[in-house]
Amino acid sequence: MEKDVHFKAIRNEGPTRLGHTILYDTLVNEVATNDICMIYHADMYLCPGALDAIEKHLKEKTIVSLTRIEPPLHPPGPEKVLQDFGIEPEEFDEKGLLEHVKLYQPNLATTEGIFAPWAFWKEDFQQIGGHDKMFAPQSKEDTDIFNRFHLNEVEFVQTWEGFVYHMTCRGSRFADGAKRNPDGEVFMKNRETDEWLKQNQKSTREFLRKWGHFCKHDDYMKPIVPPKYNIGYRIENCNPQLLEALEPWCDHIYTDLEDFVLYQEKEQPNTSFDLNKRLHGITDTDRYDYDDILVEINGNLFTHQDFQILQQLPEIIQDSGEEGNFELGNLKITISSLQTYEKELIVCSSQYVL
């Protein structure tokens, strides 16, 4: 910043780790001065012509993603190019990359999808409230905001005329740089830090509480957002393990587990949701009217297949399109209303102010 008046930045002096979920929004809202911004990672190399490709497609209510070329550290997919030009800056084969990119330059195709790097209109970002601080410092914040863009009728364009080389895994997932790539290993899975694994589990459970489903997208990374219903679980013969597994998947739980308050006390520090409003005794029958859909579960009969049904329940209900009573596996399901609430999640009310 001392050398270039056009370079602006923020620095977190600590001790609290904020993470990019919060710092991205601070940059967009308080630092960026133009109408267009881009979420761009420090482990990416911008190939020639990439910014021109973005400008070509960045129309109103549109987000443009560049195509990633990256080493095989993660599973393959049709939305990216797997080609190894180095996983450390010291071994980066810049010349080889630039020669390889020329093979794709005649390709004028676009696909639908969104992932980093993505360029957007600041207005569209601010209209939905940016990232949800619920997922700070990181993990699932990207899928959450992509879902909300999609519900707010923002279009996604991935250009195959603009590329970045993505070395990947430069952030919080691994230990310090000296330990990040011991022995020159390429595949990074199962080498994450305990901190990252713990945060990823926390954010996954928060995502389930908010959306009622796992992260979903098509092959080209376009978000798939099932309906968000108001669902309650009534669990007889409950046990602590079953309560912990099922609580994030619904809006309310009514349980006969006498000491369910012990789970509530343990889990409350890990969630932004008020568990006092989500957890109730099974005798609180006057609260059953709070739920448009009630699922009755017997813990003694509950199976892995029943759990799979619960995970797909929003799609099952959407496909049935009928109110009434029915049974699936060992589950008894009562649908009194098919009202959905996913559009109420478009605007993020959980923001952070530095």
Rounded distance between C-alpha atoms, residue 105 and residue 92, angstroms:
21
How would residue 194 be classed by pLDDT, with cut points 50, 70 and 90? confident
User: Given a cut of 60, is residue 182 above it in pLDDT?
Assistant: no
Which has more confidence, 312 or 352?
312
Total residue length of the chain: 354
Mean pLDDT of 110-129: 96
Which pLDDT belongs to residue 196?
77
Least confident segment among 106-110, 230-234, 236-240: 106-110
User: Given a cut of 90, is residue 29 above it in pLDDT?
Assistant: yes
Which pLDDT belongs to residue 191?
60
Mean pLDDT of 219-246: 97
Which has more confidence, 168 or 46?
46
Mean pLDDT of 316-339: 95
Mean pLDDT of 328-345: 97
Least confident segment among 52-56, 62-66, 168-172, 294-298: 168-172
Q: Which of 99-103, 184-188, 323-327 has the highest mean pLDDT?
A: 323-327
Which pLDDT belongs to residue 14?
86
The β-bridge relationship of strands 324-328 and 293-298 is unpaired
Mean pLDDT of 118-144: 96
The percentage of the chain sitting over the pLDDT mark of 90, rounded to a whole number, equals: 75
Taking each helix axis as running N to C, give the angle between helix 304-311 and helix 313-320, from 0 to 180 degrees, rounded to the nearest 10. Answer: 60
Beta bridge partners of 155: 62
Asked whether the beta carbons of 88 and 182 are under 8 A apart, the reply is no
User: Given a cut of 60, is residue 90 above it in pLDDT?
Assistant: yes
Residue 339 structure tokens: 């009202």
Which pLDDT belongs to residue 193?
77
Rounded distance between C-alpha atoms, residue 349 and residue 271, angstroms:
15
Rounded distance between C-alpha atoms, residue 115 and residue 136, angstroms:
18
Which pLDDT belongs to residue 180?
46
Which pLDDT belongs to residue 213?
96
How would residue 173 be classed by pLDDT, with cut points 50, 70 and 90? low
User: Given a cut of 60, is residue 174 above it in pLDDT?
Assistant: no
Q: Which residue in the block uniquely carries the two structure tokens 């978000």?
A: 223
User: Given a cut of 90, is residue 87 above it in pLDDT?
Assistant: no
User: Given a cut of 90, is residue 262 above it in pLDDT?
Assistant: yes
Asked whether the beta carbons of 235 and 299 are under 8 A apart, the reply is yes
Q: Which residues, in sequence order, are CB contacts of 43 under 8 Å at separation 6+? A: 166, 167, 168, 169, 170, 171
Mean pLDDT of 214-232: 96
Mean pLDDT of 169-176: 56
Rounded distance between C-alpha atoms, residue 255 and residue 286, angstroms:
14
SS (H, E, C) the chain: CCCCCCCCCCCCCCCCCCCHHHHHHHHHHHHCCCCEEEECCCCEEECCCHHHHHHHHCCCCEEEEEEEEECCCCCCCCCEEECCCCCCHHHCCHHHHHHHHCCCCCCCCEECCCCCCEEEEHHHHHHCCCCCHHHCCCCCHHHHHHHHHHHCCCEEEEEEEEEEEECCCCCCCCCCHHHHCHHHCCCCCCCCCHHHHHHHHHHHHHHHHHHCCCCCECCCCCECCCCCCCEEEEEECCCHHHHHHHHHHCCEEEECCCCHHHHHHHHHHHCCCCHHHHEEECCCHHHHHHCCEEEEEECCCCCHHHHHHHHCHHHHHHHHCCCEEEEECCEEEEECCCCCCHHHHCCCCCCCCC
Half-sphere exposure of 17 (CA within 13 A, CB side): 10
Q: What is the mean pLDDT of the chain?
A: 90
